[in-house]
Each structure stands twice: as C-alpha cells, then as structure tokens.
Chain A
C-alpha cells in the first residue's frame, strides 16, 4: 500500500510523483496506465522500495517498506524493470535461480527446493527450452520471458512488473497475463505498468490512470477506460468498444485518414 507519496528525481525538477495513494490487495491485479512521463515507472519503483519518496509512506503487508531489512523486503515484493541487462553470461536457468537470492543464507547456496521453484518459474514463463542458453544470446522476447521467470522465482506476495509485455509476441503476452492472474488467484498481488490499454483492460481487476505525476482516475476497467477520461489523460481522441467475446473494454485510437 502506498500512501500519499511524493518524489522528485532531482532537486529542482518538477515532481515526478505528486501525492499519489494506491493499494494492491492480495489476489488483485492492478494496472498502472497513463501517458509517457506520467510517473508510472517511478511509482512502481517506489512501491518496491527502490526509490524513497520525499513524503508519504509505503507499506508492505503492514510494515514500512523502508524500515524492513532489504532481504525481507525483497521477499515481499518482486520487481521487473523495463530494461534488464542484455549482456549476461549466465544461462536462463541461472538467472531464474538468482530470483531465489532473497531466500538464501550467507554463502548464497541454493537448496534443492530453490532449484525446483526456479524450474517451475521457467515453465510458468514458457522459458524452459531456453534454460541452458546464455542470456546474452537470446532475443528480446526470449530475454523478457527469462526475466519473468526470475521474478516469479522470487515468490513474493507482490509482483511489480514494468512494461513486462513490451517485447513479447501475442501468444506470450497472453501467457504472461494468464500466469499473473493464476498467481493472483492463489493470493498474490500484482501491479503492472502497461502501455497497451487493451491488454490492461483485459488483464486487470483495477486500473489506475496517471498523468504528470497525479492520479487522474481509479477503478475497474469499465470506469477508467472511457473516451472522456482517456481523452483528457492522453490528449487524443479514442473510441472504446466492448470486446464481443468477453465484454472487456477495447480501446482504439481515432486516427483520421
């Protein structure tokens, strides 16, 4: 739960996040949407305890995120950033296994249970066939799946993913969302930063719409994904139609020809 946080990237810069409150309950998948520079990535990092807000607080399961020891915090929230390093000499399996780091002792030695969880995470992210290949040799989409497995292996109550579908093809986007939702059903929570509004509408229980560091709208997809709301947020005209099969709102930008 994030409460009234404010954050600046630099002393005289405008506030990247100006007084936002947000909560993700267990079993919820919350989508963070909005135009560029809305503060989505910044807010996501604050939620993980990676950036410290100037005012306000962040609580994970009731405890102050910045008061927890780092490893305990990492056990409660897992973060996947937009740009993970590409030149890793480690194999996919090793990267997935790294996700277990917050659970390991002093000499950082993994137990068989850790290895099993990492394997399962690779399966979940459909990256098992990549397991023995070095990450530096993988394509962008393959790499993203490996890092997803890495985040899954961390087995945290809250999963914060920043643009997790950016490089994924359609099939893998669906796969990712399914995996996240399945975890949610088991009581985990997820905060997804998404550009793709259609996906956001289909995947998330709740949406939070940001613009220029402020909260513009919050609620279920049907409430947030409306032409008037989106038009104000993005400054461009959109149409919203319900998906014929599922009823989820689909957003289409109105492009004059």
Chain B
C-alpha cells in the first residue's frame, strides 16, 4: 500500500458513498405505504408528511444507529484484540435490558413516576431513558471491575462484561415472572432492536453524540493500530496505552448508549460491519473507522427499509435486528468467500 492513510480513507469513503446514497434512496422510497416523491416535494398531503416527518427522520435514525454501532464495534475489537467483540460485550446490553425491564416494572410507583418526569424532561420515553442509564451504569461497573493494579485490563473487563450480561439476562427473566405477560413481550421486542420514529431534538442529540464519538475514535485510529503491537510495543512507540484505552472505551460506550436509547439492542451490525470493511479495505483503523461508520449507516438504513416494507406482508414490522442478521449473514459469507 503506497498511498497514504488519508488517501485510502478518502477512497474508501468515496466508494461507499454511492452505496450509502442508494440505501438512503431505498429508505426514502420504501415503506409500509406508498409514496410519491414528486407529490411530497410539492407539498401534497399525506405524501409530504410521510416523507418529511416519517421517512426522513427514520432514515436519519437508522444512519445514526448504524454508524454508532459500527464504530463502537471497531473500537472494541481493537481494544480487546478480539474479532468476536461486539458493541454490547462490555455489559452494555445487560445494563440496557435491566434498565428497560425495571422501567416497566416500576410503572405507577413513585419511582416510576419520577422516572417518567425525568425522561420527559429530556425528551425520551421512560424505557429509553432507563435503558441508557442502565447501559451507562453497567459500563462504569464493568470498567471499574476490569481494573487491576490501577490499569484497565481488556481481557478482564471482557470477562466481567460477559458474566454481567448473563447475570442481566437471568435477572430480566426473573423480572418477567413478576411483570404482566404483555408488558414483558413489549420489553423483549424492544430489546431485540426496533427502530421507531423519534422527535427531532432526540435525533439531533444522538447524532451529535455519535459524531463526536466517531471523531474521537478516528483521531485515535493511528494509536489503535499500534495497540496491535501489544502493550509494550505500543508503549515503546510513545503511545499512552492506558489513556488510549480509556478514551476509546468511553467514546465507544457513548456511541452505544446513544444507539441503545434510540433503538434497543440491534445486533449483528456492530460485529460484522467492521469485519466486512476490513476484508475489503485492510486492517488500518484510519481507514476502517470512517468506512465502518458510513458502511454501517448504509447497511442499517437498507435493513430498516426492508423491515418497514415487510409490514405489508406480515401485518407487523419485524424487529430490525432480525432483518440485519437475515440480510447480513449471507452477504458476509459471500464477501468472505470472495476475498479468501
């Protein structure tokens, strides 16, 4: 590779841009109903409402979540030197699940009422708010327990995270026994990853968080490359390994927190998009990070469009996590076979 990293990143982004544009086009033109783009642009109702207040915000949402989960996945795979890491591996999924389940369980109690007003003040639904709090609390917990002798040990944190996630699943199952059946079904569905329609302020806030996190991680990309040389190898090159880890961990957690708040736990994207990008663009994080952001956004926009369209046939919209896996797994296998 004789081109500089900046040039390669630019090439990757230019190559992915049409894919993203295509995904957005599909996302805007497909849905449960029919839409005439020209009518919408002329202001004809209901097309205009469908376009501007339903489909555009939905596409933006999918792009934000797809990008956020993908960059978090890249960062965590680099931190752990483990290609099987996904964005929820540090206990974030368990924390979100506990938060969401608890928010449903305490509905109507004093705590529930307080939570509802706090959430409303921020502009989130109570379940979203509780899930974010849960995932952030979990990440702090895992991070603290993952430290030994004053330093973060990624493998230890991973272990704590995996154990915590198991604990959280068990807790949620136990909570189900207490909650009314239809409530738990709703929680489980949300946890499976569902995109909805969020008001603008929420989208803007989440988008800002993901953007900042992605920028931080891209600035750290060179150092993430060096982490592959081992703690000592990286330190010998002047990298502050501990600080790089901390910053990456928190940037990734913030991006995942924003995604979880919006859509619950959408699986597959954060695990597979980084690998797909690496298969095509190589292991350099300075290319993989921005490319994964754009690629992840395109992928989720596309999967979401398909999920919405399936409403016509199924009478209900399947959770997007199901579509990402059904769509993504064969695509990934295809890519794997073509590149090796």
Chain A contacts to B: CB under 8 angstroms: 45, 48, 50, 69-75, 78-79, 81, 84-85, 88-91, 93-95, 98-99, 101-102, 104, 106-110, 115, 132, 154
B222 touches A108 (CB 8 A): yes
A84 touches B230 (CB 8 A): yes
Chain B contacts to A: CB under 8 angstroms: 1-2, 4-6, 218-219, 221-223, 225-226, 228-230, 232-233, 235-240, 278, 282-284, 286
A91 touches B228 (CB 8 A): no
Of the candidates A74, A99, A101, the one whose C-beta lies within 8 Å of that of B222 is: A101
Q: Which residues of A contact B238 (CB under 8 A)?
A: 69-75, 101-102
Determine chain B's interface SS by DSSP, over half rule. Answer: helix
A107 touches B236 (CB 8 A): no
Of the candidates A79, A89, A102, A109, the one whose C-beta lies within 8 Å of that of B4 is: A109
A99 touches B230 (CB 8 A): no
Q: Which residues of A contact B221 (CB under 8 A)?
A: 108
Pairs A-B, 3 closest by C-beta atoms: A108-B222, A74-B238, A71-B238
| A–B Cβ pairs within 8 angstroms, 8 of them | A70-B240, A84-B229, A85-B233, A89-B228, A91-B1, A98-B229, A99-B237, A107-B219
Taking the closest CB of chain B, its distance from the CB of A138, in whole angstroms, is 15
Q: Which residues of A contact B223 (CB under 8 A)?
A: 108
Q: Which residues of A contact B225 (CB under 8 A)?
A: 90, 98, 108
A154 touches B229 (CB 8 A): no
A124 to B105, CA, bound (A): 68
With most chain B CB atoms within 10 A of its CB, the pick from A70, A79, A84, A108 is: A108
B233 touches A102 (CB 8 A): no
A89 touches B237 (CB 8 A): no
Q: Which residues of A contact B219 (CB under 8 A)?
A: 106-107
Q: Which residues of A contact B284 (CB under 8 A)?
A: 90, 94
B235 touches A101 (CB 8 A): no
With most chain B CB atoms within 10 A of its CB, the pick from A48, A98, A106, A115 is: A98
Given A85-B228, A88-B228, A94-B1, is A107 in contact with B222 using a C-beta cutoff of 8 Å? Answer: yes
Of the candidates A81, A99, A101, A104, the one whose C-beta lies within 8 Å of that of B232 is: A81
B233 touches A84 (CB 8 A): yes
Q: Which residues of A contact B226 (CB under 8 A)?
A: 98, 101
A109 touches B6 (CB 8 A): yes
A107 to B222, CA, bound (A): 7
Taking the closest CB of chain B, its distance from the CB of A89, in whole angstroms, is 4
B236 touches A79 (CB 8 A): yes
A22 to B233, CA, bound (A): 23
A115 touches B237 (CB 8 A): no
A115 to B2, CA, bound (A): 8
Q: Which residues of B contact A70 (CB under 8 A)?
A: 235, 238-240
A115 to B278, CA, bound (A): 22
A74 to B223, CA, bound (A): 14
A85 to B233, CA, bound (A): 9
Of the candidates B229, B230, B236, the one whose C-beta lies within 8 Å of that of A74 is: B236
Taking the closest CB of chain A, its distance from the CB of B246, in whole angstroms, is 15
Given A73-B238, A107-B219, is A81 in contact with B1 using a C-beta cutoff of 8 Å? Answer: no
Q: Which residues of B contact A94 (CB under 8 A)?
A: 1, 284
B222 touches A90 (CB 8 A): no
A189 to B242, CA, bound (A): 30
Q: Which residues of B contact A45 (CB under 8 A)?
A: 232
A72 to B237, CA, bound (A): 10
A88 to B229, CA, bound (A): 8
A252 to B290, CA, bound (A): 58
A81 touches B233 (CB 8 A): yes
Taking the closest CB of chain A, its distance from the CB of B239, in whole angstroms, is 7
A78 touches B236 (CB 8 A): yes
A105 to B218, CA, bound (A): 13
A110 touches B237 (CB 8 A): no
Q: Which residues of A contact B278 (CB under 8 A)?
A: 89
A50 touches B222 (CB 8 A): no
A72 to B225, CA, bound (A): 19
Taking the closest CB of chain A, its distance from the CB of B328, in whole angstroms, is 22
A93 touches B4 (CB 8 A): no
Given A84-B229, A90-B225, A93-B1, is A50 in contact with B237 using a C-beta cutoff of 8 Å? Answer: no
A60 to B228, CA, bound (A): 27
A161 to B94, CA, bound (A): 46
A50 touches B228 (CB 8 A): no
Q: Which residues of B contact A69 (CB under 8 A)?
A: 238
Given A84-B230, A90-B228, is A48 in contact with B236 using a C-beta cutoff of 8 Å? Answer: yes
